[in-house]
Chain A
């Protein structure tokens, strides 16, 4: 198998090839870098490539292996969403504001993957400060979908999803505040998991909406997601919202699976399938996936999430509110962009932030500032928090009669770049299926389940109760043993 073909296989297969000496980390890194560079113009998946660092890490991985000191991820090429701080490597959040920012420290996730020997090629594209569902709002230009480069890759973790789909890396990190791992995974035909809130440390992730942000991984299979998730989860005292619980070996549970899901109750939320904008092809593919699960032994049950539609307004109050405060630090005083000319302090703030932030970020800062303002706080922020609790209760109630929820990841497949035009609400409505898991802090994943008439991938979403990551991954893994949607490669 050529090294390039090898790159398009799974993390597990790569690890085996490395272990059996069929390839070396250095060769893999070289091939991955070559492919990344070759596709950069067409996809714009990366904001920063770090070839020298990658080669160095790969050499170190090979040496460790020779010394007999290896972990499963050692020598595996990966990429980080450019929202994770990387020591000595610029971390931009796809914003002009941080275009030159070089952090003096690594994010927890970056640290853990580096310790495991994974070889990072660089930093992937995203919507500015993770605000968006298309990866069109990037200071470094939009990321394109490997299945059709005239189309969006999804967002905000578009670069990571595109890099995995395009066979550059088998796994990449992402963050998911309202669907930013799952939606681009669906759009690009790959698998992505957003863990329970608190499972993975947020330390070193540039904050968008702190109570919703959660790191996740995008890979070509549920099994690879399981391996990568185990590598990045665990307690971190530097994040007060990090859970104090032992790391789980999710992949071990998958290895024990017998190819059946007998007894698993899969809940189909009635309201999700009644959404007006749900594309017919998407509906058909997701319903087909449900029948496949049924054939594997799962029992389908209809459930209700009565306040499903209120998730979007609740989210678009809470997330901007937190963002307006989280992004206040970008003031031009200590680091990051500062306007070149200004008359006084207020003018410096105004110009720095006007020039440093993109339109979507400014929109959310304005909305967030508004909803927290005196006299509006009760009507918006407090109401939204109440809604959030009610929505979480809806999910809890649904899980009384099922083990996992099954739903589309997004109502449509990838749209054409620029198609949503100037109406931000059109883009916000894309998040209808994903936002609930963030509001309720629940784990959720998206896996490929078919293609639409235009040949674009469709994602099927599974949502689990709190901390049920293994159950989610196991179900998707059994599905993927039976189907090959996740093995399809884009026509690049």
Chain B
């Protein structure tokens, strides 16, 4: 059997850290980067007699996410205890939702690939449940000992579990990116992957094409970038196929990705899997969410990327590809919408082109976030308008863009004026140049009159040259055509 006969099956479990200011079951702060154990209160340290109290804000965020993925919000969900011993798990159990999660049966549709090869893929989301994070074990700083930092213990997480619907690393990355954009879009997670706010576990298996049963999966833990997600899956798939083709068997296991070596290695196998002894946490009542609360949260949601994408295609006339790019983040989409709002909707396309072209390239090259861009949405709108009304050429507009980027001023018209970029559109001013070009190029004139459209371009070029680029090419074309067909 050769490689093309294998099908890859991927499901992702994503831990999104919620944006609440305090922890899920205590009042301690969730801010990142404090001195070890400065943000761990009696509850987080699991002192005897302490009790958890659920943070309403965490539930509100779970509802937001649930609504954004068109899932069911459970009217009643239950917190359970997941029991295991580990030094950074203060209570000896993690409070997590097990049998009855707060969110179930959602889905998101994502764009995979680019250009002609692009396609839409719907990934079903089995469930999303609330749970608390554990602390951190610090092995480096203490010789022969392990330090424990409980600042992160009790940080609210939403674990978002997909169905095994993805069939390639590319699909998995597209899904993870879309979810990442979505959680930031609706403000439930800051998405900071370096700080561990968005962590991905990938369940990967392979099976012969046409087989309906799933192969044995291995779970790649704790991937904290999309690049690693891609690399880890690619490696894992290759490894599994090779193993099977060599007659071996894949053992169910949890593996870690080593980015240095680009490999996965086994952390634990099924044999040493814990028996977590889940049972409902008697310290917490079942979480009951009434309809009114759900509706309240729904009303507070912004327009979601998927809906906005549809609107950009249908109302703004953008391509699905551009619409997808513009909705990659809330900041970008807001930037675009602000620009378009300042001009005629027919300028949506040029605005999108400016943003996805010149601006995106500039931001990318300089490592600046769109929020900090010196070129503001109003500038983009003004550029598009001045190109459209013929005040400047596209080349001129690029010069204005450069000036804006360099901070040469705020007023686009003033920059055009100062740099002398205004095109000559006035007929009386162009007339002499057009006449001269006709007189000097009888051959082209003849060819055009004989029906060769292209010959007109040569004449336009002559006029442009004579005007040193200042002439408005559109006007020149009109004028030439009128003169020659008169």
Contacts and interface: CB of A to CB of B under 8 A. Distances in A.
A372 interface: yes
A56 B354 CA distance: 76
B282 interface: yes
B459 to A, nearest CB: 83
B275 A203 contact: no
Contacts of A322: 279, 282
Given A238-B53, A335-B47, A328 B92 contact: yes
B148 A333 contact: yes
A377 B277 CA distance: 8
A486 to B, nearest CB: 32
Contacts of A237: 53
Contact of A329 (B52, B92, B284): B92
B45 interface: yes
A325 B48 contact: no
Nearest to A210: B282
A370 to B, nearest CB: 10
B49 A205 contact: yes
A321 B283 contact: no
A373 B48 contact: no
Contacts of A373: 275, 277
B271 to A, nearest CB: 14
A345 B46 contact: no
Contacts of A104: 42, 47
B321 interface: no
Contacts, number: 97
B341 interface: no
Nearest to A236: B51
B48 A203 contact: no
A458 B302 CA distance: 68
Interface string A89-125: 0010100001001011101000000000000000000
A241 B279 contact: no
The winner among B48, B91, B92, B278 for most chain A CB atoms within 10 A is: B48
A337 to B, nearest CB: 12
Interface string B78-117: 0001010101001111000000000000000000000000
Given A211-B282, A325-B279, A373-B275, A85 B83 contact: no
Interface string B34-52: 0000000010011111111
Contact of A241 (B42, B91, B285): B285
Interface size class of B (residues with CB under 8 A): 20 to 34
A205 to B, nearest CB: 6
Contacts of A369: 277
B479 interface: no
Nearest to B92: A328
A91 B48 contact: yes
A37 B51 CA distance: 35
Given A93-B48, A105-B42, A334-B90, A240 B148 contact: no
Contact of A328 (B45, B93, B278): B93
Interface string B351-370: 00000000000000000000
A349 interface: yes
Given A211-B282, A331-B92, A238 B51 contact: yes
Interface in A74-90: 84-85
Max chain A C-beta neighbours (<10 A), residue from B46, B87, B279, B285: B279
Nearest to A239: B51
Main secondary structure of the interface of A (DSSP, over half): loop
B313 interface: no
Contacts of B48: 85, 91, 93, 98, 101, 103, 206-207, 329
Nearest to B46: A329
A202 interface: yes
B85 A328 contact: yes
Nearest to B279: A372
Contacts of A321: 279
B74 interface: no
A327 B52 CA distance: 15
B334 to A, nearest CB: 38
B403 interface: no
B304 interface: no
Contacts of B90: 329, 333-334
Nearest to A372: B277
B148 A377 contact: no
B150 to A, nearest CB: 8
Interface string A245-256: 000000000000
A381 interface: yes
B46 A334 contact: yes
B87 A328 contact: no
Given A207-B48, A325-B83, A377 B92 contact: no
A204 interface: yes
B54 interface: yes
Nearest to A332: B87
Shortest Cβ-Cβ A-B pairs, 5 listed: A328-B92, A211-B282, A372-B277, A210-B282, A204-B49
Given A91-B48, A377-B279, 6 more contacts: A107-B49, A210-B283, A239-B53, A325-B279, A328-B91, A333-B87
Interface of B: 42, 45-54, 81, 83, 85, 87, 90-93, 148, 275, 277-279, 282-285
5 contacts: A103-B47, A202-B51, A207-B283, A324-B277, A335-B47
Interface of A: 84-85, 91, 93, 98, 101, 103-105, 107, 202-207, 209-211, 237-241, 321-322, 324-325, 327-329, 331, 333-335, 345, 349, 369, 372-374, 377, 381
